[in-house]
Each structure stands twice: as C-alpha cells, then as structure tokens.
Amino acid sequence: MESNGKRVQLNGKPVDYQTGSVIWGEPGTNGQHAFYQLLHQGTKLIPADFIGFAKPLRSLQGNMKALSTHHDKLMANMFAQTAALAFGKTEEEVRAEGTAETLVPHRIFPGNRPTNTILARELTPETLGQLIALYEHKIFVQGAIWNINSFDQWGVELGKALAKDVYGAIQAHDADSLAATTDSSTKSLLDTYFKLAGK
C-alpha cells in the first residue's frame, strides 16, 4: 500500500518510531494453518483486518448439502477467530476444562488482540474499489501523522536502476560483465542462476 516505512521525515530528519507495516493475508481459513498462531500467541501485537462478504461470488460444485453450508462455515470461522483474538482464554477457563497441568500455560491466550471486521454484501468491482480506496486513504493518513512522504519510492528506484545492469549481465550470460561497483553477492547469485538455468 504505497511506500510507508520511511526512515526520515519530510524535513529530512531521522524518525525514531515505526513508520510502516508488513501486510499479508490469506483467503478463507487458509491463514489458520499459517500465521494465526502468531496473531493469537505471538510476542508482538499485530492488528488484523478481517474482510467478509455475506454472499459468495459463485456456488461450488459437488454435494448440495456441503454447498448450502460452506459459506456459512467460512463466515462462522471468521467471526470466531476475531472473538478469540479479542477475548482469548484465561487460566481459570483452561483449568475448568480439565486440561492437564503441563498444557495449561500453552492453552492460555491473552486476548486483547486488535482486529477490524469489514462486512459487505458481496465482492463486486465497486466493493473492491471501496476497499482499495479505504486502504489507500489509511496510508495517506498514516504518512501525514508520521510526517513522511507516503508516495516517494526512492528505494524501489534504486532497485530498478540496478536491475538494468543485472539484466544486461543476464542477457550476456556473464556475471563478470556487471559494472565494477556491483557486489560479489549479486555476481555469485548470477553465476548460480546461469548454472541452474543451463545458460
């Protein structure tokens, strides 16, 4: 979402606070097997947005009973995960379930993990546009608060400039043709690339 994450303010002075976030996600329940434990039990507080749609875009093929409940199950999981993140589970609740004492510390969840839940009727081009506008505006507002330029991309530009030289070396099939200023790591990666690609 644009280019927050700057190390200097608009006036060129260094910042001493975090100015960006890493954004990732997964559709449906896929994330439950990837990064939800980090959200629930990790040592860093990570705010999360959950976006759901009341109507699925298309019906699934297959068993009619499964079709009638699939979307509702996905939505139930979304609502339940946000509740679990918000309220967690106390030591008393874990013990009341008869949990083995050695597992009690592992089954306590602090809760108080911030989430936003965004619900819409269905995913349409208009709804997608609204979501993009929402997140783009969020980036602008963060940049204004942090006193940084959310829309410059000097780091990306550096990578693009270096890519021209690297591309030339790839086309020449010769890592040594890189400019003298190119680092040995990139040259080594290119040599490995040529070997793996059979060039």
Catalytic member of 33, 44, 164, 195: 33
Catalytic member of 73, 106, 160, 199: 160
Enumerate residues 6+ apart whose C-beta is below 8 A from 118: 49, 50, 51, 52, 131, 134
Known active-site residue 187: no
Known active-site residue 2: yes
Known active-site residue 26: no
The DSSP-derived string for 7-69 is SB-TTSPBP-S---------STTGGGGTTHHHHHH-SS---EEEEEESS-SSPPSS-HHHHHH
The pair of structure tokens assigned to 96 is: 């009341």
DSSP secondary-structure letter at 119?
E
Residues with catalytic function: 2, 33, 160
